[in-house]
Amino acid sequence: MNVALEKGGKAVRSIRARPLVPRVSTDWRDQLKAASGPRQSNQARRVRLEPQHPMEDGLHFTNQWEHRVYRLLKERQASLPDNDTVGIVPLGAMRVCGHTYEPDILITYRGRVGVIEIDGPHHKGRRSDGASRERLLRNAGVKHIDRIDVRDSTDRQEGEKFVTDFLKHLGS
């Protein structure tokens, strides 16, 4: 150090070692995890901070109807062979032509991408905006977009029929 410092007319007279890290308790891993927060993700970013929203398999849902459709899709996924499976992405944000959209559920199946929108009472009167959104999603490569009304998502038979029809259209 003296060689490096002698050009500036400085010298080191002594070096003293002292601890830089304070003593940590035995639960330091838990403390670090809590301080770091959850892993970064764009999945369900608006609902992550609101504990009243449903969550399953580490995935977040805006409401119970999205959660019900997810469970039906998950059941179908479990019944398929590994080489013909379904990918399920709830509330994944996607950027399309200057807009950021968050489809309710994005599905991958047989090399294709589809979107399921669960229409509740809040969707009334917003069809024209939905149509332009759907057009942009199709132009970005989403092959099939379908909507299920919340009333149909609560009826198991209607929900299962919807999932069957959706996957049939997406896969063909």
Helices (H) and strands (E) in the chain, counts: 6, 8
Rounded to an integer, the average pLDDT of 71-77 is: 96
Sign for the CA dihedral angle at 52, 155, 131, 128 comes to: negative
| Helix-helix angle 156-171:64-79, to 10 degrees | 60
More confident residue, 154 or 22: 154
Question: Is the pLDDT assigned to residue 45 strictly greater than 80?
Answer: no
What does pTM read for this prediction?
Answer: 0.69
User: What's the longest Cα–Cα distance across the chain?
Assistant: 85
What is the gyration radius of the CA atoms in the chain, in angstroms? Answer: 26
Residue 170 near residue 115 (C-beta atoms within 8 A): no
* The residue type at 53: H
Degrees to nearest 5, angle at CA 53 with 170 and 127: 50
Name the percent of the chain lying above pLDDT 70. Answer: 75
Q: What is the pLDDT of residue 47?
A: 61
Q: Give CA separation, 148 vs 55, 58, 119, 161, in Å.
A: 20, 24, 6, 11
**Domains located in the chain, CATH noted:** 55-171 (3.40.1350.10)
Question: Closest Cα to residue 105, out of 152, 161, 61?
Answer: 61
Structure-token match 């959850």, residue found = 38
